[in-house]
Chains A and B, each alone.
Chain A
């Protein structure tokens, strides 16, 4: 035997799951929505990595994309707008043994949740973050989001969006402790899966921006890219993605990019046309907050109780004015 007895026994009777085992409710997303592609890729990841549903958590904020936890038969937390990151960080801190994913949209992450986003990158908590970027607020019927292109007419910008869009990749790459940044598009499912898988295997804050179609409110937005594969730039590298020969038949526009090269990653991330797809940056050496803040010893029930008593004693009104002296173990 090459592994401890315990691991042998656990593996021997380990449950194996298929794709349907991870399917929660029936998605309410519009037909043709790019969220479906992301859901399929994530369910495939769970199956291939044999993630135990009871040890997997999807945390989201508010928006179309944030309905994601409802469609996964795992633990989930459909949080409040922009607060997916702190909730996920809390879950991971309390239960480091869980696989924690964050599903957030361009409004949820880049607008109301921007402050949490920036600091979550800096903390480099071990999370797999999927930014569903469809360039629009879809759940509330078409308002401009921070990533909407300039000139987009919407309910909140009837004369067209005034500002240039924010680029979530360059923002992430500019923050201290960024450790994994990648971009995928929902219309190349093979790479979508590969990228999410790489992100899952990275120990740290893995940020994957997925450019996705919104067929309901922005049906024409990505047509030029869908019809011309040359406008999608695939990034390959021995330390990044390997592009299959079958895919290369359609997507011939490829370059080799070393994911450890931060300057080059920033340069590539700035490109909007062609859309770069692949691992832009990967630095496994950045320390995780989970590790830096890990508590070495487990607290016993007695220690927890003593600690709680001490804290509660501070605000207790004592009937006889004689507060007992407690000791925190």
Chain B
């Protein structure tokens, strides 16, 4: 009996998805998960990126840290080497685990609060002081902020935090500009007042003097004296109006109001810049545009006034019709960005249309789009998975708009991408962050693992498109945040004990089939095969996909899984799911090409160039061999060829600073090597019409007939860098020529 006949029921399941006969089991209720996830049963016991600290206090305010990194940093400072340090380290790490457990159990709050809450839970028998020590250790940490675990709300919270930090930096820079201009403009008005008749009145002078000795002065007399000697340069009325108007606008600007003023009752209006839908954000942007233009106008007028560069004849007409059409991207970039966090799965068609409009218009908006379910069935009802087509299509389309900073990633990877997120928020113009939040699966896997599985399996690959990173796609588009981006699937070593308790390490791929295995809704696509029925026709899913479809024959793809008791299982994947896996791989290949991995255009070009180069090289060597053989008469040909090749190579190597040939010159003509002239004035002292300076103050022969040959020779002799070449005399009747010609000989 051949293999196909013995394992007919496996073949049947693979082809049709129907289970018949013995030796093939449904996976419902087995608690299967991908084998590589066997190590991640109890996440709170593991130290990994989460939970995150959204730092809002201390010198690192605005940053995002992982709790583990904060703890490591603290231990580095407080835990001394030796046993004492080791004990303390152990306690602190236990406390960290308790904090992680509290969060996983639904707890929330600031890091300091959760730390205090967890400290009593790490009670040390026989050492009552340990709890208080652990509580007080928290004081050593120079930072604090909300702790967030990898949950549904996390992406929006992290992005809002990063956006706020970027806006604070922007606001600080903007306020510094406004503050400087307000001080300077006020200074102009103050100086004008001091110079004015009103400023020279006794009362004004009295107010300008310190209080204690005020009474000993005669301010009426002082006023008369000052008025007599003060400059009479009153501020023109038009300039005063301009400055006062600009000052009023700058002081009341509502975009980055002075935090000291916002507490006061007369504080100017402030704007909100965070929205949960694109339409509201776009409407707010349109409504505020005139105010923004007014502030830019005031800034420009103020800057020109402060520089003393405002010219009414040129600038009045420009500012008279100044409106939002005059704004440049740099102007708009000074103002706050709008943040739109579209709630989970609200990225439906109308919202998408509004979003694309905003992005394509280059508005200063950063948008977070979240996807919770990659495995929902496609809307057309073909039975295919959509694979987050809505959000991934959005991200891909956004890269084509040109100026949009696009980041696509799973939520589990947000911490690793924190610097890119910061860059995206610092980016001038629109930005899109598309996140798979891992919230759609209904299995028992934590969201962190579901999200990580999506990225690991290429179901939701990470990529970044930075439109200003360079002139080409290679610089702008990056896939580097994916695990093993050059491969079809990441492959990791999986270590387990076999039936003889021997350690086995198996290189295990993580494919889309592994990702789907995490979702119990699609358990019907898998069937467990008991160990006694494992056979040679079962091959790993990645290997099955890599084979030529014609040579697959009776082979069946399987993935490795572990059950609730951590026993290794092989699970056959049905053909329908394998089609989806293959389709996903095709998507991934397209992204790889975009990211420069296995780029077909580049590979074709490379192959063509290589063929041409090899052909040319072969011909060159053939020619060289033939000519050398002819010259050497057949003896020592090998050595001659080697020498000749070396000579060719040497001759072909260009020198960066290869000297150029000296230009042809008429030996009878006087000339100066002008570029070497050190402007020492020696020749000009002799005759400044004969020797002139060019725009760089270096000498050349001006009018040779404006001087004598004697002067030419004397200048050549006195020139310390010897760059004057006298040539021949223009006047054959000049006295003493024979002697002069002899002296000139040394400089020709």
Q: Which residues of A contact B (CB under 8 A)?
A: 1-10, 12-13, 18-19, 27, 31-34, 36-37, 39-40, 43-44, 186-190, 192-193, 213, 215, 226-227, 236, 242-250, 252, 254, 296-301, 309, 312, 316, 318-319, 324
Does B212 lie within 8 Å of A318, measured CB to CB? yes
Known: A4-B328, A236-B656, A309-B210. Is A33-B680 also a contact (CB below 8 A)? Answer: yes
Chain A CB within 8 A of B327 CB: yes
List CB contacts (< 8 Å) of B589-622 with chain A: none
Q: Mark B312-331, 1 if CB is under 8 A from A, else 0.
A: 00110010000000111111
> What CA separation (Å) do A188 and B183 show in the bound complex?
48
Give B319 Cβ to nearest chain A Cβ, in Å: 9
- Selecting from B226-234, B296-304, B360-368, the interface stretch reads B296-304
Cβ B659 vs Cβ A2 within 8 A: no
Shortest Cβ distance from B473 into chain A, in angstroms? 22
Q: Is the CB of B680 within 8 A of A37?
A: yes
B660 interfacial by beta-carbon distance below 8 Å: yes
B173-229: which have CB < 8 Å to A?
176, 179-180, 183, 186-187, 190, 210-213
CA of A254 to CA of B328 in the docked complex: distance in angstroms?
Answer: 47
Which of these, A10, A13, A189, A245, contacts B698 with CB under 8 Å? A189
Please give, as numbers and ranges, the residues of chain B lying within 8 Å of A1 by CB-CB distance. Answer: 328-330
17 A-B interface contacts by CB (under 8 A): A5-B296, A13-B309, A27-B681, A32-B720, A36-B678, A36-B680, A37-B680, A40-B679, A189-B676, A226-B720, A227-B722, A249-B660, A298-B176, A298-B183, A300-B183, A316-B212, A324-B212
Whether B679 pairs with A37 at a CB distance below 8 angstroms is: yes
CA distance A229 to B682 in the complex (A): 21
Known A-B contacts A4-B328, A5-B331; A248 and B679 likewise in contact (beta carbons under 8 Å):
no
Q: Besides A247-B675, A318-B212, 11 other CB < 8 A contacts?
A: A4-B331, A6-B299, A8-B328, A31-B681, A31-B682, A36-B679, A37-B680, A227-B722, A243-B657, A245-B658, A298-B183
B314 surroundings in chain A (CB, below 8 A): 12-13
Which residues of the other chain, A, contact B296 by a CB distance below 8 angstroms?
4-5
Residues in B whose Cβ lies below 8 Å from that of A226: 720-722
Q: Which residues of B contact A296 (CB under 8 A)?
A: 172, 176
Q: Which B residues touch A316, using CB under 8 A?
A: 212
The answer to whether B183 and A245 touch across the interface, beta carbons within 8 angstroms, is no
Query: Chain A contacts of B677 at CB under 8 A?
Result: 189
Bound CA span A226–B682, Å: 16
Instruction: Indicate if the CB atoms of B660 and A3 lie closer than 8 Å.
Output: no
* CB-based contact B309/A19 at 8 Å: no
- Complex Cα spacing A34 to B183, Å: 46
Chain B 280-306 near chain A by CB (<8 Å), digits 1 or 0: 000000000000000011011001100
Contacts of A18 in B (CB 8 A): 695
B676/A250 in contact, CB under 8 A: yes
B648-667 to A contact mask, C-beta < 8 Å, 1/0: 00000000111110100000
Complex contact A6–B722 (CB within 8 A): no
Say whether A6 contacts B658, CB under 8 Å.
no
CA distance A262 to B505 in the complex (A): 49
Those of B113-167 within 8 Å (CB) of chain A: none
The distance in angstroms between the C-alpha atoms of A52 and B33, with both chains bound, is 71
A242 to B176, CA, bound (A): 40
| A3: chain B residues within 8 A (beta carbon) | 328, 330
CB distance from B657 to the nearest CB of A (A): 4
- Would you call A298 and B179 a contact (CB within 8 A)? yes
Binary interface profile of B, 669-685, with partner A (CB < 8 Å = 1, else 0)? Answer: 00000011111111001
The residue on A at minimum CB distance from B697 is A40
Cβ of A31 and Cβ of B680 under 8 Å apart? Answer: yes
Distance (whole angstroms) from the CB of A217 to the closest CB of chain B? 14
Q: Is the CB of A37 within 8 A of B331?
A: no
Nearest 10 interchain pairs by C-beta: A1-B328, A37-B678, A40-B679, A40-B697, A248-B659, A249-B659, A245-B660, A6-B300, A6-B303, A243-B657
Task: Tell me, yes or no, whether B83 is within 8 Å of chain A by CB.
Answer: no
Q: State whether A324 and B211 are in contact (beta carbons under 8 Å apart), knowing that A189-B677, A226-B722 are contacts in the complex.
A: yes
**Taking the nearest CB of chain A, how far is it from the CB of B709, in angstroms?**
21
**Partner among B176, B656, B660, B695 whose Cβ is within 8 Å of the Cβ of A246:** B660
Cα separation A194 to B520 with both chains bound (whole Å): 71
With both beta carbons as reference points, the residue of chain B lying nearest to A296 in the complex is identified as: B176
B179 to chain A, nearest CB (A): 5
**Which of A6, A33, A301 is B186 in contact with, Cβ under 8 Å?**
A301
B539 proximity list for chain A (CB < 8 A): none
Partner of A6, one of B304, B311, B659, B679: B304
Expressed in whole angstroms, the minimum distance between the Cβ of A196 and any Cβ of chain B is 13
Q: Does B718 contact A (CB under 8 A)?
A: yes
Cβ B318 vs Cβ A9 within 8 A: yes
Across-interface contacts of B722 in A (CB, < 8 A): 226-227
Q: How far is the CA of A82 from the CA of B311 in the complex (A)?
A: 43
Give the distance to chain A from B10, nearest Cβ to Cβ, in Å: 64
Give the nearest-CB partner of B293 in chain A: A5
What is the CA–CA distance of A227 and B423 in the complex, to the nearest angstrom? 56
B71 at the interface (CB under 8 A from A): no
B77 at the interface (CB under 8 A from A): no
B662 near A249 with CB under 8 A, answer yes
Q: Which residues of B contact A192 (CB under 8 A)?
A: 678
Give the CA-CA distance A27 to B685 in the complex, in Å.
13
